[in-house]
Structure 1
Amino acid sequence: MIEKKDIALEKAVLIGIITKNQDEAKSKEYLDELEFLTYTAGGVVVKRFTQKMDMPNPKTFIGSGKMEDVRNFIEANDVGTAIFDDELSAAQERNISKILNVKVLDRTNLILDIFAQRAQTSYARTQVELAQCEYLLPRLRGMWTHLERQKGGIGMRGPGETEIETDRRIVRDKISLLKARIKAIDKQMAVQRGNRGKMVRVALVGYTNVGKSTLMNVISKSEVFAENKLFATLDTTVRKVVIQNLPFLLSDTVGFIRKLPTQLVDSFKSTLDEVREADLLLHVVDISHPNFEEHIDSVNKILGEINSGDKPTIMVFNKIDAYKPEPIDDDDLATERTKANYTLEEWKNTWMSKIGNNALFISAINKSNLEDFKKRVYDEVREIHITRFPYNHFLYPDYEDME
């Protein structure tokens, strides 16, 4: 199912909605992220469409008038792909495809496509293929376009229906096979984790594209792939790291994202065992992103789903070199000061002050404040190690004594 091939730059339009729970600013933010996902997948966005509505249209997601606008633009500009910001039902996808007569994707399908491109190891490819199969299963009927001329009831119990049922069985059998394969690999990986001994385990977690892999490269002096695209890293990478003379294991994990497809959360839960079994989490945050607080909430939500929300955690606010508060006109008394205008020092005096020394501010790419980072990690790992091996405490003095 996963093909490796060069993907041509595809022209695409994005479609989102504005609701009571998702105002115009939130909709724009989600579409910004969807555009970045499209770019990561190998596409270029030529136009966005949004519509205010109480809830998505159950048949076509957006209203008929807005759909006609989309169709006219697609035909006039030779656009081949329409991407919707929320997951479409099988029926919605079929209906929209008939109207637009182009490839129709939703956010889930787009993320699955990116994962398919990024999967390097056999394990990652197996997990992505499982997620694809589970996404595909309820949508098989829409792929049999030659049945569109037939209606339900009499006459439908022919070869066409048999072909659909046959395909469903094939996909279900494939899902069972992939789950068995993942279970076997999980056992092998569990043995590998067991063979690492009792070394302290530290895991990098965070939203996608926050700089985890860059930080991994700086700290472990390794060459983990890092790129300014979403989901640059899929496979968990584990490196032995030594700060001063204290060794520990550091793992780089797949980045999280809002509206992460359920299929991916389920199939990648095994990869996240590195997070579940970690003694310490380094929650990396891109503080230069205007909505980094929501990214934190999204990561914490997924950590809770994998029973890792209560682990010892250090918040690492990365990309301080790129942080630029929005300027405010002091002469304009009507201008309301917001979080967008905060300086880094002002941010540090907000809720971040309650975190104390568990909040670090660094730039991995410029190596700013890395000594403070190393000291904090050293102190935490040392405390965990001494708790585990109290007779070894003399081997690892305080960080200051190592200078």
Structure 2
Amino acid sequence: MNTQESVLLPPLVEPAAELTQAEMERYSRHLIIPEVGMAGQLRLKNAKVLVIGAGGLGSPAMLYLAAAGVGRIGIIDDDVVETSNLQRQVIHTVADLGRTKAQSARESILNLNPGVDVVLHEVRLDRSNALEIFAGYDVILDGTDNFATRYLVNDAAAILGKPYVWGSILRFDGQVSVFWDKYGPNYRDLYPEAPPAGSVPSCAEGGVLGVLCAQIGSVMVNEAIKLITGIGQTLLGRVLIFNSLQMSWRELRVRKDPDGEPITELMDYEAFCGVAQGTTVDADHTVSAPELAAMLESRGQGLGDFELIDVREPGEFEIVSIPGATLIPKGRILSGEALGELPRDRDLVFHCKAGTRSAEVLQNLLDHGYTRVRHLDGGILSWVREVEPEKPVY
């Protein structure tokens, strides 16, 4: 990463024909800002913004895009609203539990601003649909929490010549930037290679301070508005890094790699990020929740012996745990630090939240010569659903 001169960008969107009287009243506080004014508000009215993910970052972003008068907001999300979402995903309410996030978000947007055209894409974004969906929008806002999707968004935006605003959050820290391959660096200039699979926890694994979503999400909308209207200096070529515990912002500069290969086609992003490797477990190394319950009952009667290892993080363990499990977080096992705590001459059963992390641990131990290892299919979510439904999920 190196310094570079700021890039002056043209307005992204042509102005709409006019504002109605009601719109002039609604957006009057924008209209009296000289840098925005009537021309800027007409550009916002004519703008089409795609938001990827109606979750933590997407929630405040969509609400402020709607409030600002963006004419069309597209939403890509195929998930449903769960109780654990409500700590940070403020576009949803208790009444929306069980609904699709896209439909819940559309209702909240229209309650705030009925003049917005909301388009739903209730699909999982992948290389088969990204180019077609992106083609209908002026700017992309990416609030996803996995590297495979970020590289996909970057490449699709680069191929189509579109800018995208990127935000990332974890625990107390956030990052935000603008990438536009046509005028400056793209995401691959910041991260030429994906980090090793499993090395960076998701929000579901590591947690996130709820209000951090609003702090980073609002900056993302600020950047989208500047791109649409052509005002100010965008974050193209700059990455803002926020620490909410210290309440500090710092800036890194990033420039386009002069030797970088042009992006001309989409690829297998899960394979590129390593998430499609080593996570499939055969039946001989898998136990179901009812099978594990029977094993624990037999162990309690002295009829069998094995060790049950929970590979989640301590905070997750405090929320809900399986009786008799020992906590050894995945990172300690994959780094080799905890191998001395895992005997080779006893049966070992691993579990996590949903089965992904325990599958990684299982494969790692098989690679290290362990033979008496299995993992819980579906993780503690399956355990709660099938064995102890009175326990909480998260």
State TM-score, norm by structure 1. 0.28
State TM-score, norm by structure 2. 0.29
Instruction: Identify the structure with the greater helix proportion.
Output: 1
